[in-house]
Amino acid sequence: MSEKVRTRLEELDDFEEGSQKELLNLTQQDYVNRIEELNQSLKDAWASDQKVKALKIVIQCSKLLSDTSVIQFYPSKFVLITDILDTFGKLVYERIFSMCVDNRSVLPDHFSPENANDTAKETCLNWFFKIASIRELIPRFYVEASILKCNKFLSKMGISECLPRLTCMIRGIGDPLVSVYARAYLCRVGMEVAPHLKESLNKNFFDFLLTFKQIHGDTVQNQLVVQGVELPSYLPLYSPAMDWIFQCISYHAPETLLTEMMERCKKLGNNALLLNSVMSAFRAEFIATRSMDFIGMIKECDESGFPKHLLFRSLGLNLALADPPESDRLQILNEAWKVITKLKNPQDYINCAEVWVEYTCRHFTKREVNTVLADVIKHMTPDRAFEDSYPQLQLIIKKVIAHFHDFSVLFSVEKFLPFLDMFQKESVRVEVCKCIMEAFIKHQQEPTKDPVILNALLHVCKTMHDSVNALTLEDEKRMLSYLINGFIKMVSFGRDFEQQLSFYVESRSMFCNLEPVLVQLIHSVNRLAMETRKVMKGNHSRKTAAFVRACVAYCFITIPSLAGIFTRLNLYLHSGQVALANQCLSQADAFFKAAISLIPEVPKMINIDGKMRPSESFLLEFLCNFFSTLLIVPDHPEHGVLFLVRELLNVIQDYTWEDNSDDKIRIYTCVLHLLAAMSQETYLYHIDKVDSNDSLYGGDSKFLAENNKLCETVMAQILEHLKTLAKDEALKRQSSLGLSFFNSILAHGDLRNNKLNQLSVNLWHLAQRHGCADTRTMVKTLEYIKKRSKQPDMNHLTELALRLPLQTRT
Amino acid sequence: MGTSLDIKIKRANKVYHAGEILSGVVVISSKDSVQHQGVSLTMEGTVNLQLSAKSVGVFEAFYNSVKPIQILNSTIEMVKPGKFPSGKTEIPFEFPLHVKSNKVLYETYHGVFVNIQPQKGKLTPSPVDFTITPETLQNVKERALLPKFLIRGHLNSTNCVITQPLTGELVVESSEAAIRSVELQLVRVETCGCAEGYARDATEIQNIQIADGDVCRGLSVPIHMVFPRLFTCPTLETTNFKVEFEVNIVVLLHADHLITENFPLKLCRV
């Protein structure tokens, strides 16, 4: 037994010595990797039930924390290693916890030691005994702290007795940096396991104050000389640990405790480090109300010690969150900026200035903000220092934008645009422009014509637009277009329509590479034409008529530059409607002709959101829309009757349709509807001040005959198609198409015409012939016919209904 | 082999005192049924005086006296000859812990000379204050070469309960040289002997660092050491052997000066 224990202990020593040496000559990344490896081997060892090995690894890791040979790396090392300690603590706790679980019950989360069984307690004690015999102080401290929670298994008072003891134990750590991190770890673990035990936290703080003088003692100073580290870069290494301790203490702490702590910090000389942590950890309100005190204390600090810009930065962070007393505000800014502006190093300067911009924007006017921006430009321009500080400069812009929702005020800040000029790297500049435009879209309520805003934003938008190149992603283009469109929609010169149009002309030349922007511009110009019509109440003067024609011309020459075929088609149709509404008949004709001549170019498949889709359904939709417009388009005096309709029918006829689709026939059915509507005495709708064919021809018999001829041609085409569907696999299509044709005739045709009447009866039979028809639909259709026949002038339907038998189920 | 045999003792910490009843189960597990000639359980307690390589010469002088001393022996028959069924069979047992007449039952411990396999007193606190300066040191060759220092402290008690830690405080009031480390060294002193002579052996059984690096002056550092369970027992003095404990406070200064202050301890169990 004793032999076994001895060899175990020896092994433990070997493992520690050997592996620690291994870590001495590594680069930082290697070091990090090695620690990660250790973390993994800890988990592996635990998983394979090698508890002693796991303990060894943890001891070995925590030993690394006594080594300060590369002192700047110490905080990072602390984080890496405490991570492993946390893992270990969790593993041990969970294992002991699982021992308390028997078949019958599981321990509740808040259990008391009486609930833990003897085996669990014994295992737990074993761990503590093993740890108590670790030779070196630092590993012994860390490993015990890591399993602090396990005291819950042993006794109720365990943790509350352990914490003060561990706190005292830290006094034995000579190196002040090592000791402050040990305190931070203990506070962290303590807060996690027993947040109600505040005493030890305070004790840690006061102990720390007692050892504070060590930082300036010979041992530390000699070490810094050896490592070639200056005091201003050494002291900030304390901040993360101190901030943490201070934060733990100040959490929900009464005001009196904070005041006491601050007083005690004040009493110590060279206390900039303490001051900084107080400012980073205490409640912002607490700091803000005492801002002037803090500025006084910061001023008194030793120049050579903790960097002042960090102190001002910390103060600035508090003031960004909480407001100081009204009366102190300007003085605070003046005092702080006096120091900030003197900072020589651009990095130090910008880190500090960036924080204070928030305070300036919150409490002061554009004058002060302008001064601050000017100062930043002055500091960051020499030697192109801004190149290294884009993130901070971007933050400054974001803060300024966030506080100035009124863009006319924002752009009247003289230095705002010069400030933007510092963003010389294109990607950053575009990012900043995007931020500005987002803010504009979000906050601008009223349309504007303010020349300052327009100039500035056009410049911003142009910057965004010019960043687009062949490699720009679709998403990015969409985003930029959205932002630019947001701007265009917000520009209004009120009644000065010509100015408005020239703005659109200018925009078109600026943003020609973004299709959605061009589309927006066309819509805007169309809207402008309609606005003009509204103002003139439909009666254009010579001047407005010319203006409207200019608008129409704008659209006509812009549309061809677009790539999307359906975008072009729809815009032609839409612009044609606008032209028609403004009595520009020949222009409207031009739009419609352009649309018709474009149809043959519609490809079979189009790209929608990155996927290739058949285009026919889109074409069908467009054509139906087109037909509705064609009803009211008056015939051109120099062309034949129904010139546009004929032209369109030719195009449809020549278009190569899908082999197995009935879309062409559906379109023909729609054409029939159009022709039926055209043969009415008065059309269903009109455009004010435009004479449609009904009044042009006044029901002229020649016109009607032309119309009828067209109808017959189209119907012949439909019947032809129905015939080709008489094959087995197409019977179903034949039936439904036949029925739909029947319905069209029923709705639009004059069934007193014998031929038509006979045709509809034939279609009815055709629909039912092969048993493909849905009986319920047929029944309903028949019921509808019977119902309609009761209306006046519809008697002939009674007779028709009699001739439509219902197929019996077979 | 298809059969395994295991003795399980009821108490998790396996510590029993004289007069108590030791109980547990014998677990026999096998795949098939097993024929056996009966099971009996023997409890034996011995004091074993062993030879240490260091002092072989001395021991040969009183060789006779190192025979194991038996202090406990009892046997019980658990099962008569027969057959165990396949699977797991558990047979409970109980032993009263009675020491053989005229022997004392000592606490188990593993030492260099003495191994006691398979125990009381009253404690009076005895605090000790100490001051260490170059002047208080013995065994110094050239006192003038030593850097000046003043270390003060106290142990709360040198009479310790074995289950409670050794506690106290230490304050480095001043020191010219930087301090490297302060350690607590727990030493066990075993003495074996009889009329013909005796052998004394001091062994470090635990070394605990309580300060690492140049500690803050004037700030008390806690002295805290848990006694290792296997290597310590209450201080013992019998006709044949003695087991005693001491603690050394070892201060290591830079330039390799080593300062040691020794305190004898008396351990007991309450």
Pick the CATH number of B128-268 from 3.20.20.370, 3.40.50.2300, 2.60.40.640, 1.20.1740.10: 2.60.40.640
Q: Tens digit of pLDDT for each residue in A431-477?
A: 999 999 999 999 888 899 999 899 999 999 999 999 998 888 889 99
A606 φ, ψ (degrees, to nearest 5): -125, 160
Give B185 to chain A, closest Cα distance, Å. Answer: 10
Tokens of A491: 């520009």
d(CA A635, CA A643): 7
Average pLDDT score, chain B: 77
Tokens of A1: 């037994």
What number of other Cβ atoms are within 10 A of residue A35's Cβ? 21
Q: What pLDDT was estimated at residue A299? A: 82
Alpha-carbon Rg for chain A, nearest whole angstrom, is 42
Find chain B residues with C-beta within 8 A of A218's C-beta: 178
Domain with CATH 2.60.40.640 in chain B: 4-105, 128-268
Q: Tens digit of pLDDT for each residue in A712-750?
A: 999 998 988 888 888 877 888 888 888 889 999 888 888
Give A95 to chain B, closest Cα distance, Å. Answer: 17
Chain B residues contacting A via beta carbons under 8 Å: 11-13, 110, 115, 165, 178-179, 182, 206-216, 219-222, 224-226, 228-230
A47 φ, ψ (degrees, to nearest 5): -65, -35
What number of other Cβ atoms are within 10 A of residue A532's Cβ? 20
Cα dihedral sign for A56, A57, A61, A64? positive
Q: What pLDDT was estimated at residue B26? A: 81
Closest CA to A507 of A462, A468, A474, A542: A462
CB contact under 8 A, B12 and A122: yes
B101 — pLDDT class (breaks 50, 70, 90): low
Q: What pLDDT was estimated at residue A599? A: 93
A66, A122, A129, A133: best to mutate for the B interface, most B CBs within 10 A: A133
Q: Tens digit of pLDDT for each residue in B142-200?
A: 667 778 889 999 999 888 888 889 999 999 998 888 889 999 999 988 887 765 667 78
Least confident segment among A19-23, A246-250, A305-309, A631-635: A19-23
Q: What pLDDT was estimated at residue B14? A: 66
Which residue type does A642 have? Answer: L
d(CA B15, CA B194): 31
Percent helix / strand / coil, chain A, rounded to 5:
75, 0, 25
A567 — pLDDT class (breaks 50, 70, 90): very high
Q: With H, G, I as helix, E, B as strand and everything else as coil, classify residue B115.
A: strand
For residue A56, the 8-state DSSP code is H
Q: What pLDDT was estimated at residue A21? A: 47
Give the ranges where A136-193 is alpha helix by DSSP (H): 137-146, 151-154, 158-169, 176-193
Q: What pLDDT was estimated at residue A210? A: 85
Q: Tens digit of pLDDT for each residue in A592-613?
A: 999 999 999 999 888 887 788 8
Tokens of A423: 């963003």
Q: Virtual CA dihedral for A226, A227, A233, A239, nearest 10 degrees?
A: -100
HSE, side-chain direction, 13 A CA sphere, residue B36? 17
Q: Which residue has the higher pLDDT, A405 or B51?
A: A405
d(CA A754, CA A359): 88
Contact A535, A494 (CB under 8 A): no
| pLDDT (average), residues B43-65 | 57
Angle between helices A176-193 and A239-250 (to 10 degrees): 30
Provide, rounded to the nearest whole percent, the portion of chain B with pLDDT above 70: 74
Check whether B71 has a pLDDT greater than 80.
no
Find chain A residues with C-beta within 8 A of B216's C-beta: 171, 174, 210-211, 213-214
Tokens of A806: 């219902």
A138-147, A251-260, A337-346, A755-764 — which one is most confidently predicted on average? A138-147
A13 φ, ψ (degrees, to nearest 5): -65, -45
Tokens of A113: 């030691």
In the block, tokens 């002040």 appear at A176
CA distances from B97 to B44, B45, B104, B254 (A): 10, 10, 12, 54
d(CA A315, CA A24): 39
Check whether A184 has a pLDDT greater than 90.
yes
Give A211 to chain B, closest Cα distance, Å. Answer: 6
Provide, rounded to the nearest whole percent, the portion of chain A with pLDDT above 90: 33
Produce one character per residue of A169-180: b if its CB has 16 or more CB atoms within 10 Å, e if not. Answer: bbbbbbbbbbbb
Which among B115, B220, B228 has the least Cβ separation from residue A171? B220
Q: Tens digit of pLDDT for each residue in A660-703?
A: 788 888 899 999 999 999 988 889 999 988 888 888 888 788 88
CB contact under 8 A, B215 and A118: no
Q: What is the complex's ipTM, to 2 decimals? A: 0.75
Alpha-carbon Rg for chain B, nearest whole angstrom, is 25
Q: With H, G, I as helix, E, B as strand and everything else as coil, classify residue A467.
A: coil
Average pLDDT score, chain A: 87
Closest CA to A634 of A686, A680, A561, A594: A686
CB contact under 8 A, B222 and A211: no
B198: β partners: B193
Q: Tens digit of pLDDT for each residue in A113-130?
A: 777 788 888 888 889 999
d(CA A49, CA A735): 77
Check whether B46 has a pLDDT greater than 80.
no
CATH 2.60.40.640, domain B4-105, yes or no: yes
Tokens of A30: 């290697």
Give the ranges where A679-774 is alpha helix by DSSP (H): 693-697, 701-724, 731-748, 754-769
A562 — pLDDT class (breaks 50, 70, 90): very high
Closest CA to A118 of B48, B10, B185: B10
Check whether B1 has a pLDDT greater than 60.
no
Q: What pLDDT was estimated at residue B240? A: 74
Burial class, B207, CB count within 10 angstroms (exposed 0-12 / middle 13-18 / buried 19+): middle
Q: What pLDDT was estimated at residue A725? A: 84
d(CA B55, CA B49): 13
Check whether B104 has a pLDDT greater than 70.
no
Residues constituting chain A? 810
Closest CA to A627 of A684, A581, A586, A587: A684
| pLDDT (average), residues A156-172 | 89
| pLDDT (average), residues A527-534 | 94
Give A295 to chain B, closest Cα distance, Å. Answer: 31
Cα dihedral sign for A215, A219, A225, A227? negative
Contact A375, A422 (CB under 8 A): no
d(CA A146, CA A111): 20
A18 — pLDDT class (breaks 50, 70, 90): very low
Check whether B116 has a pLDDT greater than 50.
no
Q: Tens digit of pLDDT for each residue in A499-516?
A: 999 999 999 999 999 999
Antiparallel, parallel or unpaired: β B257-268 and B159-161: parallel
Find chain B residues with C-beta within 8 A of A210's C-beta: 216, 219
| pLDDT (average), residues A254-265 | 81
Antiparallel, parallel or unpaired: β B166-175 and B3-9: unpaired
Question: Which run of H or E residues covers position B264?
Answer: strand B257-268
CB contact under 8 A, B211 and A137: yes
CB contact under 8 A, A175 and B228: no
Closest CA to A145 of A196, A96, A61, A82: A82
B54 φ, ψ (degrees, to nearest 5): -65, -35
Give A208 to chain B, closest Cα distance, Å. Answer: 11
CB contact under 8 A, B229 and A129: yes
| pLDDT (average), residues B225-230 | 88
Contact A9, A58 (CB under 8 A): no
Q: Tens digit of pLDDT for each residue in B230-269?
A: 888 888 887 777 888 999 999 888 877 888 888 998 888 7
For residue A491, the 8-state DSSP code is B
Least confident segment among A274-278, A358-362, A394-398: A274-278
Q: With H, G, I as helix, E, B as strand and everything else as coil, classify residue B89.
A: strand
Nearest CA in chain B to A218: B178
Closest CA to A678 of A739, A629, A625, A738: A629
Find chain A residues with C-beta within 8 A of B230's C-beta: 1-2, 5
Distance of alpha carbon A24 from the chain centroid: 45
- B197: left (phi > 0), else alpha (psi -120 to 50), else beta? left
Tokens of B116: 């006691």
Contact B107, B229 (CB under 8 A): no
Closest CA to A491 of A463, A464, A465, A517: A517
Tokens of A36: 């990660």
Find chain A residues with C-beta within 8 A of B228's C-beta: 129, 133
Q: What pLDDT was estimated at residue A106? A: 67
Find chain B residues with C-beta within 8 A of A211's C-beta: 216, 219
d(CA A397, CA A419): 9
CB contact under 8 A, B209 and A136: yes
B76 φ, ψ (degrees, to nearest 5): -130, 145
Check whether A621 has a pLDDT greater than 80.
yes
Residues 6+ apart with CB under 8 A from B128: B154, B155, B157, B158, B263
Contact A664, A657 (CB under 8 A): yes
Tokens of A93: 């706790």
Q: What pLDDT was estimated at residue A407? A: 87
B258: β partners: B252
d(CA B159, CA B166): 9
Q: With H, G, I as helix, E, B as strand and everything else as coil, classify residue A512.
A: coil
B156, B167, B170, B216: best to mutate for the A interface, most A CBs within 10 A: B216
Contact B246, B139 (CB under 8 A): no
Check whether A242 has a pLDDT greater than 70.
yes
CA distances from B3 to B24, B31, B35 (A): 20, 7, 11
Nearest CA in chain B to A172: B211
Cα angle for residues B207, B140, B180 (degrees, 5° grid): 40
Q: What pLDDT was estimated at residue B106? A: 60
| pLDDT (average), residues B205-211 | 92
Nearest CA in chain A to B15: A122
